[in-house]
A and B are shown apart, each in its own frame.
Chain A
Amino acid sequence: MHPFLSGIVTILIGVGGCVAYFYFSNLVLDKVIFPAQGPRAGHNINRANQWRPWLFLFPAIFVLGLYLVYPVVGSFLRSLYNRAGDEFIGLGNYATLFGSEAFRQAFLNNLLWVIFVPAAATFFGLIAAQLTDRLSWGNIAKSLIFMPMAISFVGASLIWKFVYAVDGDIGLINAIRAALFGSEPVDVLQIPFWNNFFLMFILVWIQTGFCMVILSAALRGIPEETVEAAIIDGANPFQVFFKIKVPQIMPTIVVVWTTVTVLVLKVFDIVYAMTGGNFGTEILPSYMMSFMFRDDGRATAVAFVIMVVVLPVMVWNIVQARREMR
């Protein structure tokens, strides 16, 4: 059967199955297990209502547990075994990793990504949000800056491959350099160290729109009186922005910052498509992919290192969520 047809069948089975599950499980709970009639009707209704949330939650908890909770444990256990998976080597994979030059390079590069990308994306996003705020064509500008959000990392990489190309008839950067300074074309993706920033900028380009949209909403939510009062007191526009507006939207800035940070640790596509990890641009997600299908032990070890790096953000998110619910 053609995959497309089986896709349609899957939609029908999947959606139909979900509807059937929720409807019939609910029916069974109310009519068969705890019928709302007879001598214990009241008791049964209460019991049924105690069980119902778990009925509603079960499919979601099941897939979350299987695909996201179990792998944390599963990956860690697998990372303690050798390549073939038949010999327990303890932390051997981690020892090999931290001993290898390539891993240290990937780790340091990744730190660079985690620092630079969220900072730059949030900064540009904040600037764009503030500048477009009261512009007559602000919505068009926002929409265009937001657009890269829809483009895949691979597509974005290709778009920027055109900009970075060595050939002065393809690459915009080299064309501008040649036109302004008459300099020889360079391959920016092979400049040691700085090539990382050219790759990072692609992700900044994608994420700025996201930051802008959220920060723009936060800026609009600022009580106008505070801004008015500051202006009457003689604050100039820069003071109004940095001393009145930014402090008030600080919580949102932190949320945006952490969201982008977490995303950075997932993106392997850009490095994979642009340099394949060559020229000293390897980062952890792409380093992990180089072991995928070859050495599961080391692949899972790298994945677990990424998890450890994300852990502080995760804890912080959970603490925030708990606090908000109170």
Chain B
Amino acid sequence: MDNIAGKKSSLSIATHLSVLALVLIWLIPTVGLLVSSFRDRDQISASGWWQAPFSVELTFRTAAGGDAAQIDGDWVLSGNIFDDPELQETFGSGAGQVTAFSVSAFDPRAAVAGTEIETRDGAMLTVNPDGTYRLVSAEEPSGTQRIYFAAKTPPQFTLANYRQVLTADNMDRAFINTMTVTIPATIIPILIAAFAAYALAWMDFPGRGWLIAAVVGLLVVPLQLALVPMLNFHNSIGVGQSFLGIWFAHTAFGMPLAVYLLRNYMVGLPRDIIESAKVDGATDFQVFTKIVLPLSLPALAAFSIFQFLWTWNDLLVAKVFLPSSDDAKVMTVKIADDLLGSRGGDWGILATAAFVSIAVPLVVFFTMQRFLVRGLLAGSVK
């Protein structure tokens, strides 16, 4: 409509560019997390994730040893530092390139590759960019000479972080716990809410308007209010901090949105169908199960997605209503309390754990987006 009457919008390019900028700002942090989770841990701390496709300069140490040969009165020890079996894994064959070297652990980049430096024993050491070295000394060398060097390593992508997070860090247990919390807490409220929504949408009784207003009001009651009284209540009826308790809590906390969303959708169903069914002698129960429920599937799907995302991503309710022992931790608690605390600096593990926890919601989001949008609109736009 911006270009009617043959007036082409001159803002077109600006629009494209600003949307592109917005999308990039919104997308880049997540991409960073994803890339980081696949990178080798040494490389993560040596270069930014945006440099992941390029080689990274890391420092290594190796030892020059073996038999020295006597040439022109000097003892010469030569070889290639990349022949070290421990380094083979990082560099593969012939991929490494030395940039600097030294004989001191404190400053591995003291000398540029190709130059000559003096070791503590008075020998002269040269390391070339291709990894060949030459150690020349006046006396027969005893023992081995440590060489510290910096070399460009090829970019490395690995599943090691995932292996560690999923096996060693109890994240597998947390993943199952999250599923255990989420699935019942998503399914159980639906039926309860659907009946209530039908009553509020299509049955006439005194006080209906007030009940709908109450549901709207309860939508915004802060969860925090319920924490202390309900935990005390759970303790007094013997549920305590347990999965049973958190299922109850999530069912109740999701209820206002469920009733509100489903009622808004059901009210919009065509009146003729429902009234003609009633004229034909259908009871309310039949109208609900045979007509309204099947027609409301999109709204039911939308609410399920909301409730699924909300319970999967929840931290607050899980911290309060689940025991704090390790075998009952859900992923959000695990990440916020364990990994961020003790593993604050281990970026590879953090990125991987975060990605494991957001992977399922992202899949749900991208496959069910249509329903999600429809549900949002049913709730807010009249």
Within 310-326 of A, Cβ neighbours of B (below 8 Å) are at 310, 313-314, 317-318, 320-322, 324-325
**Chain B 211-250 near chain A by CB (<8 Å), digits 1 or 0:** 1111111111111111111101100000000011001110
Chain A residue contacts of B191, Cβ below 8 A: 15, 18-19, 22
- In the complex, A231→B284 CA distance in Å? 52
Interface size class of B (residues with CB under 8 A): 35 or more
Specify the chain A residue showing the minimal Cβ separation from B320: A292
The answer on a CB contact under 8 Å between B315 and A272 is yes
Establish whether residues B212 and A321, one from each chain, have CB atoms under 8 Å apart when the complex forms.
yes
Q: How far is the CA of A312 from the CA of B336 in the complex (A)?
A: 32
> In the bound complex, do residue A310 and residue B220 qualify as a contact, i.e. CB atoms below 8 Å apart?
yes
Complex formed: what's the CA distance from A172 to B354 in Å? Answer: 18
Q: Does A303 contact B (CB under 8 A)?
A: yes
Q: In the complex, what residues of B have CB within 8 A of residue A169's CB? A: 44-48
Contact of B187 among A14, A205, A299 (CB under 8 A): A14
Is B50 interfacial (CB 8 A cutoff)? Answer: yes
A183 within 8 A of B: no
Question: At the interface, yes or no: B36 with Cβ under 8 Å from chain A?
Answer: yes
Contact check, A68 vs B376: say whether CB atoms are below 8 A apart.
Answer: no
Which residues of chain A are near B373, meaning CB under 8 Å?
Answer: 213
Closest to A272 in B: B336
**Nearest Cβ in chain A — how far from B309, in angstroms?**
6
Across the interface, do A147 and B362 meet the contact criterion of CB distance under 8 Å? yes
Cβ–Cβ contact B380 & A214, under 8 A: yes
Distance (Å) between the CB of B356 and the closest chain A CB?
10
Query: In the complex the two chains form, is B285's CB within 8 Å of A26's CB?
Result: yes
A132 at the interface (CB under 8 A from B): yes
* Minimum Cβ distance to chain A for residue B125 (Å): 30
Q: Contacts A269-B336, A273-B336; is A325 near B315 (CB within 8 Å)? A: no
Within 8 A of B (CB), among A115-168: 124, 127-128, 131-132, 134-135, 138, 141, 143-155, 157-163, 165, 167-168
A-contacting residues, B7-41, CB 8 Å: 7, 9, 11, 15-16, 18-19, 22-23, 26-30, 32-33, 36
| Complex contact A205–B26 (CB within 8 A) | yes
CA distance A147 to B33 in the complex (A): 14
Interface string of B86-113 (1 = CB under 8 A from A): 0000000000000000000000000000
- Judge whether A64 is part of the interface by a CB distance below 8 angstroms: yes
- Chain B hits for A165, CB < 8 A: 347
A4→B179 contact, CB < 8 A: yes
Residues of A within 8 A of B347 (CB): 162, 165, 170
Which residues of A have CB within 8 Å of B265?
none
Give every chain A residue within 8 A of B180 (Cβ-Cβ).
3-4, 7
Q: Which residues of B contact A131 (CB under 8 A)?
A: 15, 18-19, 22
Q: Are B380 and A15 in contact (CB under 8 A)?
A: no
From known contacts A56-B199, A151-B361, infer whether A159 and B29 are also in contact, taking CB-CB under 8 Å.
yes
Q: Is A186 an interface residue (CB 8 A)?
A: no
B: residues with CB less than 8 A from A are 1-2, 4-5, 7, 9, 11, 15-16, 18-19, 22-23, 26-30, 32-33, 36, 44-50, 176-177, 179-181, 183-184, 187-188, 191-193, 195-196, 198-200, 203, 205, 208-209, 211-230, 232-233, 243-244, 247-249, 251-253, 255-256, 259, 283-285, 288, 309, 312-316, 319-320, 328, 332, 335-336, 340, 347, 350-351, 353-354, 357-358, 361-362, 364-366, 369, 373, 376-377, 380-382
